[in-house]
Structure 1
Amino acid sequence: MNMKPVTAIFILISMHISQWSFGQCKTYKLNKKSDTINCTDFQNLKQGKWVTRVEENYGEPGYQEAGFYKDGKKEGEWTRFNLMGDVTAEEQYKWGYKDGICRYYNLMGLIREESWRATNPKNPYDTVRAYHLDNPDKYDLKIIKVDASTVKHGTWTYYDPQSGTITKTEEYVIDQLIPAKKAKMIAAKDSSVFKSPADSLAAANKKKPPEVLEWEKKHQKKKIKVRDGATGVN
């Protein structure tokens, strides 16, 4: 069979990439598209894309999660699903710790938006704003040593998932709850990228990896018992 040169080159490159990927892994799996996932390198460190599944155990609900590892630590965006395939969490990681905006859902929509800051293990110092107690609009920049691996830092927002309205906001600086102008924070959050709980869930569900979609397709007729619509995330 004759093969066009461009097609032949593409196949050879694809084979080379696949062999290179396998060569970096002590253990690995292949998904439906023959992509390498769940790679453990020869130093027994998790690398690249991972999709894991935890079954229900002793009354605790099971879940699936998908994201990336770098040298054995979570890195970038991780998405968690319940065993019915509904998104329950979107978390950001750096150096293996939560860093940035993390969102949590129940079956009705967005319930909480958290803000975290991870500490670089190689440089445990950070520059933070030290607000004046008599005037929350004024602050000084201070360099401090951060002992924790990750700390609450920024605005935490709590939602009514049915209406999408904000029920409470909190402002943190390196794990310290500080006074804040509640009305100003609410007005800022009203222009959030998520217009409603339904919109937030729709956006999150678009990120389902093919491994989760494949499992859902195989088990769509199987009824899975769940306790309630809570995320299971504190």
Structure 2
Amino acid sequence: MKKAQQILLGTVLMMMGLNALPLSLNAQQTKETKATSEDNLNKKDKLGKKQGMWFFNMPEQFGDPSYMEFGTYKDDLKSGLWYKLSKERQLISIETFKQGVLDGQAQYFDEGRLYCIGHYRGIYSKYAYDTFMVTNPVTLNDTMVIISSDRGYTKHGLWRYYNPVTGHLVKEEEYQVDLLLREEEFTEPAPRATPERPKLPHEGGKHKGWDAGKTSSKKSLIK
């Protein structure tokens, strides 16, 4: 791993306040490596499996913009929180993985500003299909749903969408294994009108406020 990439990773973690998470440069190591900054990133164990912290700098391809991505591997599978940033170093996403599959909370950003928080449920079946019981929130009736294991994961739970500029909640969706059970949209509050600044005495006009009077005494002020 190049030293410049290590410095960038450390800087990004500090900017995002992630130094409290188990993502520091000295936290993830394989048994055969030494505890040095040069050995803490992009390492494989004796079996050739990715372990610990990995950092990727993905070039632009097929019309998609370039991005940076980092997170931890366990036995060659993504595990825990994974972070994706644009080439301008703005957050694109924070996703949770388990055994290489999206599973848990995910956050998505527009130019570094949060616009969506949702949850995934991973599919870990060794068979071609997996079955799930879905409960209707109104009737409370259970329905068996069959999902192809190739999908890897499903939307599951509450998804919230925000205006990335104002931060206001604009929509909620509730899923059970990709089935949309409820959807609700919200009206953003009207922007507050900027109150008119009260005029100062000298801004009152010809007959308002205080003006220098044309009297025999130039020292006097006439209202």
Q: For this structure pair, what is the TM-score category when the shorter chain's length is used for normalisation? A: 0.5 to 0.7
Gaps of 5+ in 1: 1-16, 24-29, 187-234
Alignment partner, residue 153 of structure 1? 156
With over 3 angstroms needed to count, the CA separation of the structure-2 counterparts of 1:20 and 1:130, relative to structure 1, is closer
Structure 1 position 169 matched with structure 2 position 172: yes
Structure 1 position 62 matched with structure 2 position 66: yes
Conservation of the 8 A alpha-carbon contact between 2:90 and 2:112: no
Counterparts of 2:29 and 2:123, CA distance in 1: 35
Counterparts of 1:108 and 1:18, CA distance in 2: 30
Which moved further from structure 2: 151-160 or 113-122? 113-122
Alignment partner, residue 181 of structure 2? 178
Q: Deviations over 1:124-171 (max 9, x none)?
A: 75654421xxxx344245676543321111112211101111222211
Which of 1 and 2 has higher RCO (CA within 8 Å, sep 6+)? 1
Q: Deviations over 1:91-131 (max 9, x none)?
A: 00112111111111112511122211002235875654421
Alignment partner, residue 200 of structure 1? none
Question: How many correspondences in the alignment?
Answer: 156
**Percent identity (aligned):** 28
Conservation of the 8 A alpha-carbon contact between 1:64 and 1:80: yes
State the secondary structure of the residue aligned to 1:20. coil
Conservation of the 8 A alpha-carbon contact between 2:55 and 2:70: yes
Question: Which residue identity is paired with 2:115?
Answer: I
Counterparts of 1:55 and 1:108, CA distance in 2: 20
1:35 shift after superposition: 4.3
1:81 shift after superposition: 0.9
1:70 shift after superposition: 1.5
Give the structure-2-normalised TM-score.
0.59
> Whose Rg is larger?
2
Give the structure-1-normalised TM-score.
0.57
Alignment partner, residue 33 of structure 2? 22
Q: Give the helix-richer structure, 1 or 2.
A: 1
Counterparts of 1:86 and 1:54, CA distance in 2: 15
Structure 1 position 91 matched with structure 2 position 92: no
Question: Which residue identity is paired with 1:36?
Answer: N
Conservation of the 8 A alpha-carbon contact between 1:108 and 1:162: no
Cα root mean square deviation, aligned: 3.0
With over 3 angstroms needed to count, the CA separation of the structure-2 counterparts of 1:19 and 1:53, relative to structure 1, is closer
Gaps of 5+ in 2: 1-27, 187-223
Alignment partner, residue 78 of structure 1? 82
1:22 shift after superposition: 2.6
Structure 1 position 37 matched with structure 2 position 41: yes
Q: Deviations over 1:182-226 (max 9, x none)?
A: 38xx7xxxxxxxxxxxxxxxxxxxxxxxxxxxxxxxxxxxxxxxx
Conservation of the 8 A alpha-carbon contact between 2:29 and 2:52: no
